Structure 1
């Protein structure tokens, strides 16, 4: 019941905000304002519903330390995409053909802020966090990763491969980021920075969607397996490898910090065994 309440309320706020952002059809000031407003309202709705349904402070979105955590996530996201696009460019799959649009990049800032925050509060803040408490970290990571991939299956130019890639490299990675840090700021920063670098800086398609020109005007070509084809770099094998590497790093950190939640039945069995041995 708690999962349903949180999911309904947070999803409703996120959907309303996202629809308003889409309705202004890339008007630069309105997209920026509505995008940032959607991000803020989604976080406020999440904090409120956690207090209401769980009777606790929503520490995973606490303001204290938010800037540093967002910055760490953003550095990982930008660095990861820069490494991916550099590898694609090295094999001739990405080429800059000129300067794009500062206005387009500003609009994309608002759009990506809304997308990153709404998806993180729904998929990591509600789904992964609550499901993890019932079935453990590993199973929750796999389940919510699949759901995250399926949420992109109707995107333009989506394929079975792009859906699998998104599930693994993004769904798994962002859940692992939450598991390692136990806050939503790092996955939000990572998610936003990846998307912003992809569309607003390097001028490529994001999850199959075309957008206003970013700072660079570019073309992509070559084998789909390397460039990602019409879906964009997220369907590239380079992105899959990078996502798996970052996921492994976060999971290792989660394990070292003792943040991996065991399957409840296994945990109960271990507790009973320990009690009998005393």
Structure 2
């Protein structure tokens, strides 16, 4: 039987409706829902730490805080996986257990080299001089530095590189995703102690672009979290303020010279040196990411 024009129109409308995505599958929706869930988990972890474990003394407090941070991090990863599976309707190869240790280790090495080179250049220019803090409790300082760095690395990378970068990438492509996430990451640090418009720009480049480039290159969140973790931990252990937050540190740092060299009260990230060093690392990563994409397109 020949179909009438009305039948054809109904079939056309039905086909459009059947292929239309549910509203929760749109990138902006799963990005926002996942971000809220991860931030909530992180906030609950901090609240639990403050109410239950702060009264403990010395290293007992530090160990308890580290355990809470690890638990909150695992819960945040679970929220991320559930968001991707049930809202974005995709798997999470960027958090695959396969090679997780290797990727995290490579990221830790990259972050350590980045901070070590940046610090040595500033010290060689006379901006920093270090002296061992003999009164520091090494165990306590180590646990505190690791705990703080681990929390920031896991929560921030799941949100910015895991959710935001991938959502924007899906909507507008790699370059737009890198630019938007970098700007947001820099702006998110404007409220920190000692922050200026320059420090926000510096964070946009050295952290936003470097971490974004690292993810686009490796397509692996373990790598990016390892890089971020080593960055904050090493800074903290050296006694350098981490994005305006003064650490206990194993060293006391004497700062000399202009803030453009030393970073001033904001710390290392406010210096022009890591901005340059980060670009020297990020540009090869972006070239590698472009080559990987072209290779996949040929398959």
Question: What TM bracket, shorter-length normalisation?
Answer: 0.7 to 0.9
Task: For residue 211 of structure 2, give the secondary structure of its aligned residue in structure 1.
Answer: helix
Pick aligned residue for 2:287 from 252, 257, 264 = 252
**TM-fit CA distance, 1:219:** 2.3
Does 1:115 find its partner at 2:121? no
Task: For residue 97 of structure 1, give the secondary structure of its aligned residue in structure 2.
Answer: strand
Pick aligned residue for 2:115 from 63, 78, 81 = 81
Distance 1:105 1:247 in 2: 29
Count of matched residue pairs: 260
**TM-fit CA distance, 1:210:** 1.0
Distance 1:130 1:117 in 2: 18
Pick aligned residue for 1:142 from 171, 179, 185 = 179
**Is contact 1:226-1:238 (8 Å) kept?**
yes
Distance 1:73 1:210 in 2: 24
Pick aligned residue for 1:215 from 245, 250, 272 = 250
Task: For residue 206 of structure 1, give the secondary structure of its aligned residue in structure 2.
Answer: coil
**Is contact 1:77-1:190 (8 Å) kept?**
yes
Pick aligned residue for 1:5 from 20, 26, 33 = 33
Residue 203 (structure 1) aligns with? 239
Residue 28 (structure 1) aligns with? 62
Residue 62 (structure 1) aligns with? 96
**1:8-19 mapped onto 2 (5 Å cutoff):** 8-19=36-47
Pick aligned residue for 1:235 from 260, 263, 270 = 270
Consecutive unaligned residues of structure 1, counting only runs of 5 or more, are 262-278
Residue 131 (structure 1) aligns with? 168
Residues 241-266 of structure 1: CA distance to partner in whole angstroms, max 9, x if unpaired? 011111112101101111799xxxxx
Does 1:224 find its partner at 2:252? no
Distance 1:228 1:2 in 2: 37
Does 1:52 find its partner at 2:86? yes
Residues 111-139 of structure 1: CA distance to partner in whole angstroms, max 9, x if unpaired? 11011100000001000011111111111
Task: For residue 220 of structure 2, give the secondary structure of its aligned residue in structure 1.
Answer: coil
**TM-fit CA distance, 1:217:** 2.7
Which is higher, the Rg of structure 1 or of structure 2?
2
Task: For residue 130 of structure 2, give the secondary structure of its aligned residue in structure 1.
Answer: strand
**TM-fit CA distance, 1:177:** 0.8
Residue 188 (structure 1) aligns with? 225
TM-score (norm 1): 0.88
**Is contact 1:31-1:111 (8 Å) kept?**
no
Residues 47-79 of structure 1: CA distance to partner in whole angstroms, max 9, x if unpaired? 122111123321111111100000001000000
TM-score (norm 2): 0.82
**Is contact 1:198-1:205 (8 Å) kept?**
yes
**TM-fit CA distance, 1:237:** 0.7
**Is contact 2:245-2:266 (8 Å) kept?**
yes
Distance 1:181 1:91 in 2: 33
Consecutive unaligned residues of structure 2, counting only runs of 5 or more, are 1-28
**TM-fit CA distance, 1:92:** 1.4
**TM-fit CA distance, 1:97:** 1.6
**Is contact 1:179-1:260 (8 Å) kept?**
no
**Is contact 2:108-2:223 (8 Å) kept?**
yes
**TM-fit CA distance, 1:19:** 4.5
Q: Which moved more, 1:15-24 or 1:216-225?
A: 15-24
Distance 1:20 1:146 in 2: 31
